[in-house]
Amino acid sequence: MTQKNALPPRIGIYPGTFDPITKGHLHIIQRASRMVDHLIVAIAENERKKPLFSTAQRLEMVRADIENMHEKFCPIEVESFEDLLINYAHSKGASFLFRGLRAVSDFEFEFQMTGMNAKLAPDIETIFLMASDKWQFISSSFIKEIASLGGNVADFVTPQVFEKLLKKFEINA
């Protein structure tokens, strides 16, 4: 028996710079993968942010971390984009954008961006996922700052990302 009215797959995008990816990002990815049929982790090629790692390095780190993720509830793809996020989402047939919120300070920026995205593409919903209390204080910016000053960030990133940070900052573990 075939289904005549099968629903199209629910595709979601979790965009970000992921410079570097943290355990907080991975937690959001895992949770978002429960809500869609296919998840795309989209790494922004935004040179204005002056990333520490190249796009190729960030793709490699995210792919390795996704591959090692214990619970994936749908297929997860990792790719980069440099287009307007809404245009990229339309090109992928996405219906959902996932955004992680750590603190109230994140909300104001995210609220404005969501409003603009809703005007540009009312067919795409933004879903906010609150960071777990375990990861609320972590940001890629903090990770880079602490690592650059010789601080230990091993608890906040996976071992492979930690190794890349040590190499980047020429730190001996």
Whether 140 is catalytic: yes
Alpha helices in the chain (DSSP H): 23-32, 55-67, 85-91, 104-120, 140-148, 159-168
Q: Which of 25, 58, 99, 144 is catalytic?
A: 25
Is the CB of residue 19 less than 8 Å from the CB of residue 52? Answer: yes
Q: Which of 33, 58, 139, 140 is catalytic?
A: 140
Whether 50 is catalytic: no
Whether 4 is catalytic: no
Whether 91 is catalytic: no
Q: Which of 27, 38, 102, 168 is catalytic?
A: 102
Is the CB of residue 76 less than 8 Å from the CB of residue 33? Answer: yes
Is the CB of residue 77 less than 8 Å from the CB of residue 40? Answer: yes
Is the CB of residue 95 less than 8 Å from the CB of residue 12? Answer: yes
Is the CB of residue 28 less than 8 Å from the CB of residue 69? Answer: no
Q: Which of 34, 49, 134, 141 is catalytic?
A: 49
List, by residue number, the catalytic residues.
25, 49, 102, 140
